[in-house]
Structure 1
Amino acid sequence: MNHFTICASKNDTHDIEEGILDTLAQGFVVEKNDSSYLLKSKGLFKRHQGAIHVIADNTDPDYFAKNMPGMMSFYHNIPFEDEQLKELVMIQISVFNTVIAVEMDKEITDEQMQLLIKLLSSIGGVGFLPDGTLLDQQGLVIVYPNGESGPSNFRPHACTKMINVQEATSAQGEARKNNTIAFLVEKGIPYVASLPQLPSVEDCAFKRQEDIAKRAVALLIAIQFACDVAQSGNIEDSREFFLNMLHKYNVQQFLTDNEKSFLQAQYPDAQYPDAQEAVSIAWQYEAYWTLIWALGFVETLEFPDDVCDCDYAIQVVSSCETFEQFYAQIAMRSKEEILDEADKIYRLHWACVNSRINGQAAPLALNESVVMERRRALFWMIGYRNEQWDTMSMDT
């Protein structure tokens, strides 16, 4: 093998450089290059070259958003002979925020592997071999790729930064999680038990009813303009009409920054706004549908395998002459009901990602785009991690 990866849960990466320079200097000439390190073996014969790349979630969050779900899926699908060990491994993966990737141009020698194990020990992480074997920080096998347990007495480790990011567990959150899992089992939908619970009602920063209502109306107007753009309609006439609608309902301040830019951007003659951006905004019909469900205009959030009723979605607002008339019809759902749906969509999203990564059709024809937009709206309403609408993380 010529690859070795160390994953860890770290408050910062400052001590990693010291570990690389001190440990690997015994067998390599090490040259630092930004967040990477170039390696050249010191031997006169069979000279090796390689590199170490250090990746942290605060500098490259996209890497973790793209790769951690795949790692979770890979180990979830391994038939562990010890289910408790599987839970521990999945918990550990969920708090990884640092990756040290070693790439060599030739096979890693036994002597070099010993140095890499020393590096693993100094960092305090988990070692990943290319075949999927996991090593603890002493270099002992945690689990083999066939699910057989190794000799390691493994226990997960999380840095204080990751612990603080994880919402506090609660009996309420565990009960909600278990209810969702029971729903998934009944439907025959795969799940991973280590996916964290969501915060309790008391620990959520729920949006106010009026803010949800104004956001819903503003979003619908932005969506309608995006639909006109996607269909190559008269952009200027459409823009003027929908800007007037925003003022009519007095909700212009509830547009997101992306929506404001999209609505207000000026384009040269014969040039239209970006069609892909228009399609992305138009897909948020599903997020809007979820908002008006929370406001009581939609009776049930059906299983997310199909798109919403766009004609009815429009009529909910268009039948009202003023925002006050729309607001007077609201029958707001309880925070508990909204949080229940948020937990359900969170775990359904994992099922979508798991299927996609493994090249399989989503279970029960789940529509991942619908699931993602519902999640955007639900997580925004519960104030999850205080994330903003346009930049809502979709980690699973």
Structure 2
Amino acid sequence: MENCTLYTHETNMQQVLTHLQTHFGEKGVKITGPAHQWEQLMVTTGKTLFRKGNSLTFTYRQRAIPGYQLVHNDDPVITNLRGMYGFIQGLPADNPKLKELLLAKVATLNTEIGIVANPAFTEENKALILELAQKLDGIFFSGDTTIFKTEVQGFWDKTGALLLDVNGHSSATTLAVNIDAKYFDGEHTTSEQALARRERNIAQLNAMNVPTIAWLPAIEDESTVQLRSTREVATRAAVLAAINTVAFGYIEAPEIISYLQRYHLWEHTTAGEKAFLADPREELRKRETWKCEDIWVLLWALKKIPALGEMDALCDLNMVPQDVFPFRGTDVDPSAFLDAATELRSATEILDANDLYYRADWACVNARVKKEPSPLPPGVIYERHYALNWLITYRNQAWDDVSCDT
């Protein structure tokens, strides 16, 4: 058995699942936990009747609050990174400048991904892991493994070049240190309005006995947020509502594809949604049914329903009046719904909700990491957080790529 650890500034671990599924197919990746917040991923290759094959297992943990500094606290990931930082400081270095870049890189890391190969890393999965490191702009720490053909501990870059080993040797010549601007831009520009929003939502969650942490950052405020356009929100709701009927088994996929094409919604259907409609297997249907929560949020944003309702209960789309629902059958033109969607809720209302669900999502993730009962339904909270992040154009991400950093 061999292992290595991939460290990255990125926090969106959906990228890891997507990368593995691209290589091995959805059935080839065994997922422990919900797909959107997986706990463990495993792939097995070369398995036959008489061979166990080779397996790769992925797990991860993250800073409670992503950032770019190693501020001392009891966060286990930061504690580990501080230990790593001190370890590197004590190493000799043939290339002192590269060592300083490595130290700077360590301070920016948010996620550690453990990768275990059984019985050993192969050339095939080495290529897979290096491709993943490229996507995540990561670095590796490894000891006696075949993946880096070494018998000593050291750090490698995303191409597999040696940054620094315990003997001070390197083969790389430089290392990029990239930081998401959101982590330092907001430090000096957090408005009183955003801080007050945070305090209100912390108080609301505490009153519900939902754990919070005071140092989870405030989100952006009205002066910087860029909301999606009303038409864009209405179009997204219309596509989701149509596809949701396939997820629940009400209408077959070919009929919905025809509907989306006939009423000019196909060009607004994402690559992920088209892949689902092309092969709506049972496990994918179950996952897609959760999108009713996203539809609920978008209809709320469009003022089609008065409130998001309780955080600890599933939404009920049957409560939405039929005359304002985006999908009314495959023979009904959705243009009436789209044309009637003329107003979006204020930035303040949407940001209030986004900040609230951001903190609630942290509580759910925190409970999962600690293997404790979740204080709220994690699926409901995650999907609503997802839709709200899309509404505020979080990190300028398209629908399929929205991340729910906590």
Conservation of the 8 A alpha-carbon contact between 1:184 and 1:191: yes
Distance 1:115 1:88, change over 3 A: closer
Distance 1:313 1:276, change over 3 A: farther
Conservation of the 8 A alpha-carbon contact between 1:54 and 1:101: no
Aligned to 2:217: 196
Conservation of the 8 A alpha-carbon contact between 1:287 and 1:377: yes
Of 27, 39, 64, 1:72 maps to: 64
- One-letter amino acid of the counterpart of residue 397, structure 2: E
Conservation of the 8 A alpha-carbon contact between 1:218 and 1:255: yes
Cα distance in 2 between the residues matched to 1:277 and 1:313: 25
1:185 partner SS: helix
Distance 1:59 1:189, change over 3 A: closer
2:179 partner SS: helix
Aligned to 1:83: none
Cα distance in 1 between the residues matched to 2:400 and 2:352: 23
Of 241, 246, 256, 1:242 maps to: 256
Cα distance in 2 between the residues matched to 1:213 and 1:275: 28
Instruction: Give identity over the alignment, percent.
Output: 26
In the alignment, structure 1 residue 379 sits paired with structure 2 residue 393: no
Aligned to 1:348: 360
1:7-37 per-residue CA deviation (whole Å, 9 max, x = no partner) reads xxxxxxxxxxxxxxxxxxxxxxxxxxxxxxx
2:223 partner SS: helix
Aligned to 2:29: none
Larger Cα-atom Rg: 1
Conservation of the 8 A alpha-carbon contact between 1:69 and 1:354: no
Cα distance in 1 between the residues matched to 2:318 and 2:89: 61
Once the 2 structures are TM-superposed, how far is the Cα of residue 114 of structure 1 from its aligned partner?
9.1
Q: What pairs with 1:134-173 in structure 2 (closer than 5 Å)?
A: 161-162=178-179, 164-166=181-183, 168=186, 169-171=189-191, 172-173=193-194
Distance 1:181 1:248, change over 3 A: same
Of 323, 327, 341, 2:334 maps to: 323
Of 307, 313, 325, 1:300 maps to: 307
- One-letter amino acid of the counterpart of residue 219, structure 2: L
Once the 2 structures are TM-superposed, how far is the Cα of residue 72 of structure 1 from its aligned partner?
2.9
Cα distance in 1 between the residues matched to 2:75 and 2:62: 14
Cα distance in 2 between the residues matched to 1:51 and 1:377: 37
1:317-363 per-residue CA deviation (whole Å, 9 max, x = no partner) reads 34594333213443421121011101100000011111122222222
Once the 2 structures are TM-superposed, how far is the Cα of residue 91 of structure 1 from its aligned partner?
9.2
Aligned to 1:219: 240
For structure 2, list consecutive stretches of 5 or more residues without a partner in the other structure: 17-36, 40-58, 93-98, 108-175
Distance 1:114 1:198, change over 3 A: closer
Cα distance in 1 between the residues matched to 2:256 and 2:3: 54
Cα distance in 2 between the residues matched to 1:60 and 1:190: 22
Aligned to 1:209: 230
In the alignment, structure 1 residue 260 sits paired with structure 2 residue 232: no
For structure 1, list consecutive stretches of 5 or more residues without a partner in the other structure: 1-49, 74-85, 103-112, 127-158, 266-272
Cα distance in 2 between the residues matched to 1:55 and 1:377: 28
Aligned to 1:47: none
Q: Going by fraction, where is helix more abundant, 1 or 2?
A: 1
Conservation of the 8 A alpha-carbon contact between 2:303 and 2:345: yes
Aligned to 1:118: 90
Distance 1:280 1:115, change over 3 A: closer
Distance 1:175 1:119, change over 3 A: farther
Cα distance in 2 between the residues matched to 1:382 and 1:312: 26
Aligned to 1:334: 346
1:163-211 per-residue CA deviation (whole Å, 9 max, x = no partner) reads 6232524213222212211212222221112222211223222110000
1:322 partner SS: coil
1:104-140 per-residue CA deviation (whole Å, 9 max, x = no partner) reads xxxxxxxxx99666149962658xxxxxxxxxxxxxx
Once the 2 structures are TM-superposed, how far is the Cα of residue 264 of structure 1 from its aligned partner?
3.4
CA RMSD of aligned residues (A): 4.0
